[in-house]
Amino acid sequence: MPARWKNDLNWSDVTPKAVYLSRRQWMAGAGALAAGAFAGPGMAGITTVPSRYSTDEAPNALEEITGYNNFYEFGTGKEDPADNAHRLTTDPWSVTIDGLVDKPGSYDLADILAGLTLEERIYRLRCVEAWSMVVPWVGFELATLLDRVGVQPSARYVYFETLVRPEEMPGQRYPILDWPYREGLRLDEAMHPLTLLATGLYGEEMPNQNGAPIRLVVPWKYGFKSIKSIVRISLVEDQPEATWNMQNPREYGFYSNVNPEVDHPRWSQASERKIGGGLFARRVPTQMFNGYGDEVAGLYAGMDLAKFY
């Protein structure tokens, strides 16, 4: 049995316990209780509380967000995840947290969510998924979770792993990548308030093809850094392996920050086109750090961002 989530909060400090009887009920409660309403394309009536980092841009339509994905565990085509991800079982779900932490263990996701207040969990952020898209994520800061398990002083990086379950994830039956999918962040990146563990979007549970039931969102980096369907989070001293950096280090650096001044070896990254704008949508200049430079540029002060790409 997984270890039960331990925290210093009392039930009186959080949203009423009844809201958290299941992840689905929690997501419904979040949509109903949240204060600041907005309606995205085709999503009238869904509510969410924008964070202080929310964009003013209109979010993409739900069908765009859920129908055009990179999730190689379900196939290499952009439509493969939507076609194949319904096979994935996401409840119950546990996350192993280990390495240089004070409280290692296997934690039930429902218990992790139950220890968080509503205010800690509602966000609306812009995310790059190797293309431009605005996604109204529901989630909470990764730092909140790391603080609860206690990061030890020698920890310098955070390592993540995706589920391996080829009977439900058909792409894993082929050596497309070296499974499991792995990712990593420097600790200060992981603790930044923009770094999100997302459990839903548009006020609903996370769709399987978007990384259910819990995924990383690092909005100033390219989408492949935002690992999906996480089953392990490890605090480590040395820089961990990252799948695309392992696969082709010439093309994919460990940091993978959005940087229009550093081209991918096979294409320019100086401009982007928002998904949903149609075949003739106007390309616009790519913003450094995806527009979050004021918030995150200080993390890389003094670094050569062409070398540490």
Q: What six digits make up the tokens of 66?
A: 């859920």
Helices (H) and strands (E) in the chain, counts: 8, 13
Q: What is the pLDDT of residues 132-173, one digit of tens each?
A: 888 988 899 999 999 999 999 999 999 999 999 999 999 999
pLDDT at 51 over 80: no
How far is 34 from 66, CA to CA, in rounded Å?
Answer: 23
Question: Taking residues 110-129, what's their average pLDDT?
Answer: 74
- Position 273 scores a pLDDT of 85
Q: What six digits make up the tokens of 168?
A: 């439900």
pLDDT-based confidence at residue 102 (cuts at 50, 70, 90): very high
Topology classification of domain 11-300: Sulfite Oxidase; Chain A, domain 2 (3.90.420)
Please tell me whether residue 51 adopts helix, strand or coil conformation: coil
How far is 68 from 77, CA to CA, in rounded Å?
Answer: 9
- Position 274 scores a pLDDT of 84
Among the listed residues 45, 36, 147, the one whose alpha carbon sits nearest the alpha carbon of residue 101:
147
Q: Which residue has the tokens 């003094």?
A: 302
Lowest-confidence range among 23-32, 235-244, 260-269?
23-32
Share of the chain above pLDDT 70, in %: 80
Tell me the pLDDT of the chain averaged across its residues: 84
Among the listed residues 39, 293, 303, the one whose alpha carbon sits nearest the alpha carbon of residue 186:
303
Q: Is 81 exposed, middle or buried (0-12, 13-18, 19+ CB in 10 A)?
A: buried
Domain limits, the chain? 11-300
- What Cα–Cα distance (Å) separates residue 260 from each residue in 40, 50, 73? 29, 27, 29
Q: What six digits make up the tokens of 177?
A: 């990548």
Q: On the CB side of 26, how many CA atoms lie within 13 Å of its CA?
A: 27
- Position 122 scores a pLDDT of 66
- 63, 71 contact by CB (below 8 A): no
Question: Taking residues 85-110, what's their average pLDDT?
Answer: 97
pLDDT at 306 over 90: yes
- Position 7 scores a pLDDT of 41
pLDDT-based confidence at residue 34 (cuts at 50, 70, 90): very low
